[in-house]
Amino acid sequence: MSLGMYHQPVLKNRRTLLERAEKFISDIYFTDCNLRGRLHGESCPVEKLESFLSPKRIPFTEAIKQNFAPHKAGESFGPTWSTCWFRVALNVPSSWSSKEVHLLWESDGEALVWRDGQPVQGLTKEGEKTSYVISESLQEDEPHSLLLYIEVACNGLFGAGQGSMIAAPDPKRMFSVQKAELIVFHRNVQELLTDFEMMVDIVKELGDEDQRSFQALYTVNEMVNLCDPSDPGTFPRARSLATAFFNQRNGQSQHTAHAIGHCHIDSAWLWPYEETIRKCGRSWATVVRLMEKNPTFVFTCSQAQQFQWVKSWYPGLFSEIQQFVKKGQFIPVGGTWVEMDGNLPSGESMVRQFLEGQRFFNQEFGIYCKEFWLPDTFGYSAQLPQIMQGSGISNFLTQKLSWNLVNTFPHNTFFWEGLDGSKVLTHFPPGNSYEMKGKVEDLTKTVKNNKDKGRANHSAVLFGFGDGGGGPTQLMLDRLRRVQDTDGLPRVRMSTPDALFSALRSESELLCTWSGELFLELHNGTYTTEAQIKRGNRECESLLHDVEVASSLAACRDESFAYPAEKLRELWRLLLLNQFHDVIPGSCIELVVEDALRYYEDIRNSGSRLLKNALSALGSGGSSPAVFNSLPWERHEVIRVHREGDSVLALVQVPSVGLALVRPAEPLTPVSVTPQADGTVLMENGILRSVVNKDGTLASLCLVTSGREALLDGHKGNQFVLFDDVPLYWDAWDVMDYHLQTRKPVVEVVQAAHVLSSDPLRATVRFSLRVSEKTTITQDIVLDAMCPYLKFNTQVVWEESHKFLKVEFPVRVHSPSATYEIQFGHLQRPTHRNTSWDWARFEVWGHKWADLSEHNFGVALLNDCKYGHSVFKNTMTLSLLRAPKAPDAHADMGSHQFTYAIMPHAGSFQESSVIQCAYNMNCPLRPLQCSPQTGPWRTFSVSSAAVVLETIKQAEEQSRTLVLRLYESHGSTVTATICTSLPVKEAWHCDLLERRDQSRPAQLTTQGIRLQFEPFQIVSLLLVLR
């Protein structure tokens, strides 16, 4: 190539030539004589700077009514989480005509500029945004005087961690505005600086084995020779050298990088929910400004909740966004309400994430998202592919598995096959980031790291500051524009997720398939951290389930009963919000935990009221005690009922999805509890026989009919164990493999096991243990008549630092794999540590139960609010409490209450109703009052035990129509008949968004609705009632 005349001589000293070019654009060295030093021209102070400090986050209209006082740059304000509003009067010197004029604003708090009552741009030093453009070329007739408001939040992009990013926030941090002045901005210097930066980076990134790197080296060196920083007349020649280099094209086979603007905003993390609303305002206002100047700029944005926030807080900005959505530049993605945790939400919760998300995107923008977008969560359930497909989504983008600590995930582009065989096209951007900066390094990494070379020739490059918001900058766009087709670098195309996935799908013949869950080998402490949040989630999932079932039935029975659709939507959205991927995992600051617990309290209060309304409609104003069963099978249980001011135990039999009066009934076999001479206590109910040691451990647990002992010889069940729990960095997130070496049984008995109560219906044995000076455990071991499991109602006063409490059951079962409940199904994980893939799963997640079975016998461990499990060889372990100190310094301190249960069983867990028992433990029978003539009645029953009727709700905006959601829970192919007492006119299959499939009416027979199921299949029906 001919790049013009070179200055001579050029020695073969790569290092000095490269560093010379670097120093020429350095913002630290030689700025007195280098190019960087020429970026800004004249400056002038702002005319007037005034401020007003607000402890609360207040709207603009309220802020501007306050009394503003004079403020000097450099003065401090704060503390953390307050807001300083600035009124800034500007007067641009008339001598600056035809110059580019910026307001230079450097502050350590995140700022938002308001102009004429509208948010116009975010300013954050950390996010490389310190300039607000007043004019690109100042004209005579433009206003030279201007009044701006600048809202400065007293927090940085990443909150206000004391000492380190994830440390608990420093509540006393003070902030300041270091610079507030008008400057003349030299755009020609900026453009040349960007050329230089890209050339220098090409030299460095391609390295000394690549001839292209040397071509860049000599070109950039000559650019330095040609350019005199003090003489802008020399710039064009330097620029044309760079342009000629950038325009040397690639061959046809080059990889394509699909550059997509992005701004990952955690809905709450190191800052509270309320601050996220403002992060959205700041980041998206900036994006809209960039779109005005760059018509090809495309930006993707997930989380319907954040759009909803912006809609209600910044309606002006929201309507600008709607315009850019129409133009195809601002692209809503993901289809969910928030970017939720991928492990812990229940199956129905995950469906609701998509239902609420997709419905919102459709209502506001007239679109349904085609891709699920979850770059930053801590593992992905094996049921997600089916849930995505059911929500109109067949593409998936994430990257978090690049964080695996042990094994490198083998693909970047592949088909992900879920539990039921559903497949989605999946892409992990090979750059392993969702916040690239459009730099050369991002592009070369994308090609080098791609593990599907030769199979997939397209990748995503997501650029823009993220996590704490911020988003793309003009500089990132300028970088990418220069190298759209530059020999040696991937081809760069400003693109959309749709274009990316279409390109990948059209060349997908060689792609591999990964079957089953995407397990993240890191952050495994998040199944346990912040136990109250986990408990709130589980309880509220079960409460909203019951409210929907009871309200659906009440609306069917009583025309005057109004189904509380709006209130339910509001409560669901709160629950879904708390499932955000730093809230339900417990990886957030204390302020967020407080908000989350308050939301759960709101759901509990309002949900209980709704349930009461529905149940009293069902009871039709009677006064005899009755119970309601929301689950699709008959239940026979001991419950506590209130009768004439007394609380008494009763054995009740309640039909499936129905109710029955409480009638005195005798158990076939009464429960007995007998203290033994050796200090142990024997508990029996005709199904189980257990011996409780003085220290609360189980010496024996026997299935009475077969005489089979469930516990391993010479071992004790219900053994509490304490571990040291000091991770490498991510405190709330991580439990490391080495913690297993620090196991210490809890042995100090405060109060030995003794009979607390003895009734033919229920026996309770209580004991308490001391874990440490301040931490104690008090437990009631409860055996109910006719109940196949032994319950452990547990109270812990927990005051620890970096400890992990678990409970162990070493069982007499030998099996290479254990089974764990997940969303709408279950899966197996190994109980051995053969390979690195096996031992990396030393701590795993599961929902209501885990089971270890051999042929014809097994033991299940049930729980009412825990998610962390492990089974190694014969020992089943449930994770109970952790004590991390960052980012919440008080995580999990205080008292806790939870229940787990052990259930030995003959046959398989499917045959012995483990799944049903776990549901029963999580969905208590609900008391109500009926007239004494009420016969037991049921509304639904299912002919196959394999099929669970999970959800009964009113269809969205369709009157007299119910949605039923069922799933196959055993892993079998079955036909099931749904029998109902409701007057069904028509039944239709529908998708998870409740869109009727006109080609698939459900088969109505005299027995009911006949349905076919394949293993773990989810089926949704619309029942149109007469």
Q: 302 or 446, CB closer to Zn ion?
A: 302
Contact 78, 170 (CB under 8 A): no
CA proximity to 762, closest of 726, 722, 723, 790: 790
CB 814 within 8 A of CB 875: no
CB of 581 to Zn ion, least distance (A): 6
Q: Which stretch binds Zn ion (CB under 5 A): 114-122, 161-169, 373-381, 494-502?
A: 373-381
Please report the sign of the dihedral spanned by the C-alpha atoms of residue 497, residue 502, residue 505, residue 507: negative
Strands 395-397 and 371-373: parallel
Residue 376 binding Zn ion, by CB under 5 A:
yes
Question: Rg for the chain (alpha carbons), in Å?
Answer: 32
What minimum distance in Å lies between the beta carbon of 729 and Zn ion? 16
**Residue nearer to Zn ion on the CB measure, 119 or 375:** 375
Question: Looking only at residues 205 through 224 of this chain, which bind Zn ion when binding is defined by CB under 5 A?
Answer: none
The residue with its CB nearest to Zn ion is 376
Q: Which of residues 28-47 bind Zn ion (CB under 5 A)?
A: none
- Angle, alpha carbons 476-481-483 (nearest 5°): 105
β-pair partners for 900: 792, 863
Q: Which stretch binds Zn ion (CB under 5 A): 42-50, 103-111, 260-268, 527-535?
A: 260-268
Which residue, 402 or 772, has its beta carbon nearer to Zn ion?
A: 402
Shortest spacing between CB 434 and Zn ion, in angstroms: 9
Site for Zn ion contains 435 (CB under 5 A):
no
400 versus 635: smaller Cβ distance to Zn ion: 400
From CA 401, how far away is CA 394, in angstroms rounded? 20
Match 């592949």 to its residue by tokens.
414
Q: Report the nearest approach of Zn ion to the CB of residue 339 (Å).
A: 7
Cα atoms in the Cβ-side hemisphere of radius 13 Å centred on 437? 11
Residue nearer to Zn ion on the CB measure, 302 or 969: 302
890: how many CB neighbours lie within 10 A of its CB?
11
Nearest to Zn ion of 372, 849 (CB atom): 372
Nearer to Zn ion, 193 or 374 (CB): 374
646 Cβ contact partners less than 8 Å away, ≥ 6 residues apart? none
**CB within 8 A of 203, min separation 6: which ones?**
18, 21, 213, 214, 216, 217, 220
Rounded to the nearest whole angstrom, what is the least distance from the CB of residue 732 to Zn ion in the complex? 14
Q: Which stretch binds Zn ion (CB under 5 A): 274-282, 371-379, 394-402, 653-661?
A: 371-379
- If one counts every other C-beta atom within 10 angstroms of the C-beta of residue 432, the result is 16
Which CB atom, from 134 or from 584, has the smaller least distance to Zn ion?
A: 584
Q: Are the C-beta atoms of residues 1022 and 988 closer than 8 Å to each other?
A: yes
Least distance CB 463 / Zn ion (angstroms): 16
Q: What's the CA gap between 939 and 655, in Å, rounded?
A: 9
| Residue 267 DSSP SS3 | coil
Q: How far is the CB of 988 from Zn ion (least distance, A)?
A: 38
d(CA 617, CA 611): 10
Least distance between Zn ion and beta carbon 591 (Å)? 17
Closer residue to Zn ion (CB): 376 or 595: 376
- Comparison of 437 and 766: residue with beta carbon closer to Zn ion: 437
Q: Which is nearer to Zn ion, 378 or 789 (CB)?
A: 378
Residue number with CB closer to Zn ion (345 or 490): 345
Which segment (176-184, 341-349, 372-380, 653-661) binds Zn ion by CB under 5 A? 372-380
- Which residues make Cβ contacts (< 8 Å) with residue 564, sequence separation at least 6? 547, 551, 610, 613
* Contact string (CB under 5 A) for Zn ion, positions 264-303, x = contact: --x-------------------------------------
Phi then psi dihedrals of residue 261, to 5 deg: -65, 145
For 894, other C-beta atoms within 10 Å of its C-beta total 11
Beta-sheet pairing, 961-968 with 1018-1025: antiparallel
Beta bridge partners of 1001: 988
Note if 780 is an active site residue. no
- Piece of the chain touching Zn ion by CB under 5 A; list 103-111, 376-384, 519-527, 799-807: 376-384
Stretch binding Zn ion (CB under 5 A), from 134-142, 368-376, 709-717, 804-812: 368-376
Q: How many residues bind Zn ion (CB under 5 A)?
A: 2
Q: Three-state DSSP class for 421?
A: coil
Residues 809 and 700: their CA atoms lie apart, in Å, by 11
The strand ranges marked E within 481-567 are 491-494, 513-515
Per-residue binder mask for Zn ion (CB under 5 A), 475-514, x = binder: ----------------------------------------
Are 166 and 731 a contacting pair, CB within 8 Å? yes
Are the C-beta atoms of 637 and 784 separated by less than 8 Å? yes
Measured from the CB of residue 375, what is the shortest distance to Zn ion in angstroms? 8
CA distances from 155 to 82, 125, 581, 1001 (A): 8, 12, 21, 55
Q: How far apart are CA 442 and CA 444, in angstroms?
A: 6
Question: Is 941:982 a contact under the CB 8 Å cutoff?
Answer: no
Q: Which of 341, 376, 420, 452 is catalytic?
A: 376
DSSP letter for 13, please: -
**Which tokens go with 775?**
């931490």
548 binds Zn ion (CB under 5 A): no
Q: At closest approach, how far in Å is the CB of 269 from Zn ion? A: 7
Of 1-9, 185-193, 222-230, 369-377: span binding Zn ion (CB under 5 A): 369-377
Of 376 and 784, nearer to Zn ion (C-beta) is 376
Min dist CB 173 to Zn ion, Å, is 23
Minimum distance between the CB of residue 726 and Zn ion, rounded to whole angstroms?
24
CA–CA distances in Å: residue 249 to residues 260, 483, 484, 503, 690: 22, 9, 9, 21, 77
Q: What is the smallest separation between the CB atom of 912 and Zn ion, expressed in angstroms?
A: 41
Task: Determine phi and psi for 146, rounding to 5 degrees.
Answer: -150, 145
Q: Classify residue 158 as exposed, middle or buried by CB count within 10 Å of its CB (0-12, 13-18, 19+).
A: middle
SS3 72: coil
Upper half-sphere CA count for residue 133 (Cβ side, 13 Å): 15
Closest CA to 149 of 202, 84, 214, 235: 84
Task: Identify residue 455 by its one-letter amino acid code.
Answer: R
What amino acid positions are annotated as catalytic residues? 376
Binding site for Zn ion (CB under 5 A): 266, 376
